[in-house]
Amino acid sequence: MTPVQRIAILGAESSGKSTLSEALAAHYGTVWVPEYLREFVDTQGRVPYEHDQFGIARTQREREQAALERANRFLFCDTTPLMTALYSRVYWGRVDAGLAQLEACHDYDRTFVTAPDSPWEPDGLQRESEAVRQMVHRMLLETLDARAIPYILLEGSLPQRLRQVEGLLGPA
C-alpha cells in the first residue's frame, strides 16, 4: 500500500485554505483536517490567549494523526503548527517552548500556500484586517524561505488553484 502524502495548506486569514482543503479532499476522494482554531473559537466564544496556542497546535497535529487512517493517497491539512507559531509571534512577540517544538517538526510531503488574492472577508472573532492578512502572508513566505521549506504559491480562483494542485499531484 502506498503511504499517504500529508499536504500542508498554509496561508493568512481569509485566503481560502479551508475552501481549498475541502475541495481537494472531495476531488481526490480522501479526507482533510479542518483548522482546529475555528472550532476552538466557536466553542470558547473567544479568540485564543497566548497560553492556548500550544494546545491548539497539539490538537491540530493529533487530528492529523487520527485522519491518516482514513486518508486515501493524500491528507490535506488546513493549517499546521507553523501557522499557530507565526500568529503567536504576531500577537505576543514570542512562541512558547512546546509550540516551538511542534513548529520545528514541519514534516509534510508538500506545502502549499494560498495567496491573499481574494477579497478579505471578516469572519466573526477570527479575522483581523486586510493589512494583517498581507503582513502574515509576507511573514509566512519569509519563514518558509528562512527554514528552506519548499512551497508552491497557489493563486487565483478555486478552480485555478485546483488545476494548479492537480498539475503537481496528478489526476484524481
pLDDT tens readout for residues 97-113: 999 999 999 999 999 99
pLDDT of residue 126: 54
The continuous run of DSSP H or E covering 118 comes out as none
pLDDT tens readout for residues 105-157: 999 999 999 999 987 776 655 557 888 889 999 999 999 999 999 999 999 99
Residue 91 confidence (pLDDT) above 70: yes
pLDDT of residue 130: 82
95-to-14, 49, 61, 69, 88 alpha-carbon distances in Å:
23, 12, 17, 31, 6
C-alpha cell at 82: 507553523
Q: pTM of the entire structure? A: 0.93
User: Mean pLDDT score of the chain, rounded to an integer?
Assistant: 93
CATH architecture of 5-169: 3-Layer(aba) Sandwich (3.40)
pLDDT tens readout for residues 42-57: 899 888 999 999 999 9
Q: 56 CB contacts (<8 Å, ≥6 apart)?
A: 36, 37, 40, 48, 84
The percent of residues above 90 in pLDDT, for the chain, comes to 84
> Cα angle at 117 between 74 and 104, to 5 degrees?
50
